Structure 1
Amino acid sequence: MSLSGKKVVVITGASQGIGAALVKEYADRGYAVVATSRGISPVPAPDVVTVRGDIADRATAERVAAAAIERFGRIDTLVNNAGIFIAKPFTEYTQDDYEAVTGVNLDGFFRITQLAVAQMVRQGSGHLVQIGTSLAEHADASVTSVLAALTKGGLQSATKALAIEYAARGIRSNAVALGVIETRSPDAYDDALARLHPLGRLGEISDVVDAILYLENAPFVTGEILHVDGGQSAGH
């Protein structure tokens, strides 16, 4: 257990949506939480530490890991939630689009995960969770998203590679592959987006949180890509 007597979770992209809900759920379950995003604000709770910064910047990742280890002494779970999704025809992506998406989705994953895994190896245990997308495995002509496939597909492959590389050291690695999740007020596009899913609705933040908490509490599950996509990956 940590210096505070609690397990410790690090959550990226933690200021809103899925990330903010995860901060609350893990804290409610007695975890110490280190939460980071570019716009995050301090939280008035003794066992919730916030670190403001762009996770694509190695310095931010290093400050986040240092905050967890210096304050709590360990990292039990890392949820790589930060991500950018830009849907465009392939030939219309700009260099700025490319750098923004790969910066957060790949660079943002890489350094913080290296630091978390190094600490988990020292502890002899840990759990990684990546947020992916079903579009990485099941392309849809109505949602042109090569940069999502390139980056989130890479994370889903890395999830399995990490699971195998570190299984003998007590570290698990899993991912959730999402459909379209409602993270804002409903708008006119929602009916069209809902039709992407055989279940006929958008996912809810609670669907994602429940999936991550299942993985958190499933010690015999590693290398899993858990689809939380309303059946999108199964077919249409």
Structure 2
Amino acid sequence: MKNKTVIITGASTGIGKEIARYFITRESNVIMNASSEENLKKAYEELGSPANAIYQVGDISKRETGQKLVRLAMEKFNAVDVLINNAGVFSPKPFLDVEEQDLDLYWNVNLKGTYFTSQAVIPQMIKQQNGSIINIGTVLVDHAIDGFPATAPLTSKGAIHALTRQLAAEFGKNNIKINTIAPGIIRSPLQGKIGIEDADSLAGLHLLNRIGEAHEIAEAAYYLATSNFVTGETINVAGGHTVGHAI
């Protein structure tokens, strides 16, 4: 991935920031995106303001944000090799309490964000006859939990899983690989945001009896970015979350 250009959305905190770190240290050209300028600038500086990275603020639910990211990539690095659609929102809420505004939030940020940003990069990848798009889903699409009702965000993530397969079918002939990473419980600021004070208390949901670390998602993203013969797949990085239960 040296000198390859990677766009990462939601790169200011948690998993996205760790993915950015992972690629930056391996000499990729990285474009970091997030909706908060303050958080994005802070993350960029915490990573050492690297010369092989640049950041672009923008709401990925808006079509123009993806277009701006592609323009910046072409101006600075003259290619778009990898897109990592990491930006997203997620929070539990009982089904009967979900309102239209909840659905709008998750579908706009999670699904439209992934959809529009992918639309923005694919024309350049077609020109290059090469590219990789990595979406972030969730194991909860395949492993529902009664005590964690989250139909609103889950429907948007489930749509991303389906989108991955269809895009892989449409653009395989252009040597564009599209895959999804479905994380289990990962140590990140998201846990606190949704009211989980002790993320390690959820270790038992995984057969390995621990939660995951952000760098483990970054490792999976790097593998998919470098793989030339994997497409249309959903890779569970979840410590056995979907495989079985320890009782």
Coarse TM-score class (shorter-chain normalised): over 0.9
- Percent identity, aligned pairs only, is 34
Residue ranges of structure 2 left out of the alignment (5+ in a row): none
Corresponding position of 1:113 = 118
Q: TM-score, normalised by structure 2?
A: 0.88
Tell me if the contact between 1:135 and 1:148 (Cα under 8 Å) persists in the aligned partners.
Answer: no
Residue equivalent to 2:21: 24
The question of whether the paired residues in 2 share the 8 Å contact of 1:160 and 1:173 is answered with yes
1:86 and 1:97 in contact (8 A); partners too: no
The aligned length equals 233
2:86 counterpart (78, 81, 84): 81
| CA shift digits 1:179-229 (9 cap, x unpaired) | 111114986443442222222221111111111112122211111111011
**Higher RCO, 1 or 2 (CA under 8 Å, sep at least 6)?**
2
1:50 aligns with 2:59: no
CA distance in 2, matches of 1:196, 1:96: 30
The one of 79, 84, 109 equivalent to 1:104 is: 109
In 2, the alpha carbon distance for the partners of 1:53 and 1:109 equals 13
Q: TM-score normalized by structure 1?
A: 0.92
SS in 2 for 1:227: strand
Task: Give the conservation status (yes or no) of the 8 Å contact 2:134–2:221.
Answer: yes
CA distance in 2, matches of 1:60, 1:80: 13
Amino acid at match of 1:123: Q
Would you tell me which structure has more helix in proportion to its own residues?
Answer: 2
Unaligned runs of 5+ in 1: none
Does 2:206 correspond to 1:197?
yes
Distance 1:191 1:34, change over 3 A: closer
- Contact preservation (8 Å) 2:10, 2:87: yes
Letter in 2 for 1:94: E
Question: Any idea what the Cα deviations from partners look like across 1:107-155, whole Å, max 9, x if unmatched?
Answer: 1111110011111001110000000101112211121111232111111
- Are 1:78 and 1:129, in contact at CA under 8 Å, matched by a contact in 2? yes
Contact preservation (8 Å) 1:83, 1:104: yes
8 Å Cα contact 2:19-2:215 kept in structure 1: no
Q: Counterpart in 2 of 1:173? A: 178
Question: Partners in 2 of 1:196 and 1:91 — Cα distance?
Answer: 25
Check the 8 A contact 1:133/1:148 in 2, yes or no. no
Change (3 A) 1:153 1:191: same
Residue number among 74, 89, 94 corresponding to 1:69 in the alignment: 74
User: In the TM superposition, what is the alpha-carbon distance from 1:178 to its structure 2 partner?
Assistant: 1.1
Amino acid at match of 1:212: A
